[in-house]
Amino acid sequence: VDRKEAAAFLGTTTEAIKELIQKGALLPVSQKRLKLGAMEVDGEWEIEDEQFDAFQKAFNDEEPGRHPPAWVIRSLSVEARHRCGICEQPLPLQFHHIIEWSKLKHYEPAWMIAVCGGCHDKIRRGEIDRKSQEQYKEKLRLRSADVVALDAQFQSLIATSAALPILKELLRDMQRVIADGADAASIGSDYTFVRIEEKNEINRVSVEYFDEYVLEDEVHVAAFDKLIKDPQNHAIKESYYCVAADLRERLLSLSANGIGFEFAFIKLRDHIATIVGNMNSMELRMLKALIAFMYVNCDIGRKA
């Protein structure tokens, strides 16, 4: 390892590593001074893996549990691409136990996450709860190579949908009806018939994400609700349920692969837009709102 890597592993700066090499640090219990072994090569330091592991082990032996083994640190750092797993800033990393050390003495990377000092403090203060931590971890996991494969699979799944031509028409009709008769005051955000918190949990959608994704288009989402329920719009309603049924089936096979809806929301819109082609910004906005409506109306996604 070089100085930079050592700094990343220990969640500190390259300057601090220089200090550790030249002056060492006091061990927490015995208060003995220990230097990090290194070899000077062309004015820079090379630290052998063994030297690095021995240094960490000395600290761990005195205070078991506070210093994860190098392989765990390496694995978590790589997973997070050497950025904070929460705020994504390239800051020195700390290694948080999602399943608390006090509850289970583990170094299981699957239950740990690399975070910066600031986010680690937020966790300690309870501002980032356990469920959020798990979702950040899940995001890191999904960002790996599997996602690329799943994305391609999802794309071909959507591409074969017979409902897409109907969808394009549907968007046009909805746009027209909303433009004609949308009375903002009468459009409430009444989808309280669905227990949305529960539905989000089952479909792995965080509250923040839902607020950002769905509530941004709340007016349109509510307008769709009104539009579908109006007996005058019988034809629109039929097209709507035809499209929704088709997408529901496709999404079910996706969720069988363990993909949460946060991923599906975005990908569904992007892939449909690509395949349908030539969608203007208004149609894209409508499409996003339509997908959100299908979700809150429980026509797609797992039900609460």
The footprint of Zn ion (CB under 5 A) covers 84, 86-87, 116, 119
| DSSP tag of 2 | B
| DSSP tag of 280 | -
Q: Quick one: 123 or 236, whose CB is closer to Zn ion? A: 123
Q: Quick one: 17 or 86, whose CB is closer to Zn ion? A: 86
Q: Quick one: 119 or 254, whose CB is closer to Zn ion? A: 119
Q: Where are the alpha helices (DSSP H) in the chain?
A: 3-10, 14-22, 49-62, 70-79, 117-124, 130-142, 145-159, 164-181, 196-202, 207-213, 218-229, 234-255, 261-276, 281-296
Instruction: Show the beta-strand stretches assigned E in 80-189.
Output: 93-97, 112-116
The CB-of-93 to Zn ion minimum distance in angstroms stands at 9
Q: Quick one: 97 or 168, whose CB is closer to Zn ion? A: 97
The CB-of-141 to Zn ion minimum distance in angstroms stands at 17
Task: Kindly state the tokens that stand for 298.
Answer: 């429980």
Q: Name beta bridge partners: 138.
A: none
The CB-of-201 to Zn ion minimum distance in angstroms stands at 24
What is the rounded CA–CA span in Å between residue 98 and residue 88? 17
The CB-of-80 to Zn ion minimum distance in angstroms stands at 10
The CB-of-102 to Zn ion minimum distance in angstroms stands at 23
Q: Quick one: 86 or 140, whose CB is closer to Zn ion? A: 86
Quick one: which of 20, 22, 11 has its CA closest to 55? 20
Q: Quick one: 84 or 178, whose CB is closer to Zn ion? A: 84
In three state form, how does the secondary structure of 161-229 look? CCCHHHHHHHHHHHHHHHHHHCCHHHCCCCCCCCCHHHHHHHCCCCHHHHHHHCHHHHHHHHHHHHHHH
The CB-of-119 to Zn ion minimum distance in angstroms stands at 3
The CB-of-261 to Zn ion minimum distance in angstroms stands at 25
What is the rounded CA–CA span in Å between residue 214 and residue 30? 56
Quick one: which of 292, 304, 199, 211 has its CA closest to 247? 292
Q: Quick one: 87 or 215, whose CB is closer to Zn ion? A: 87
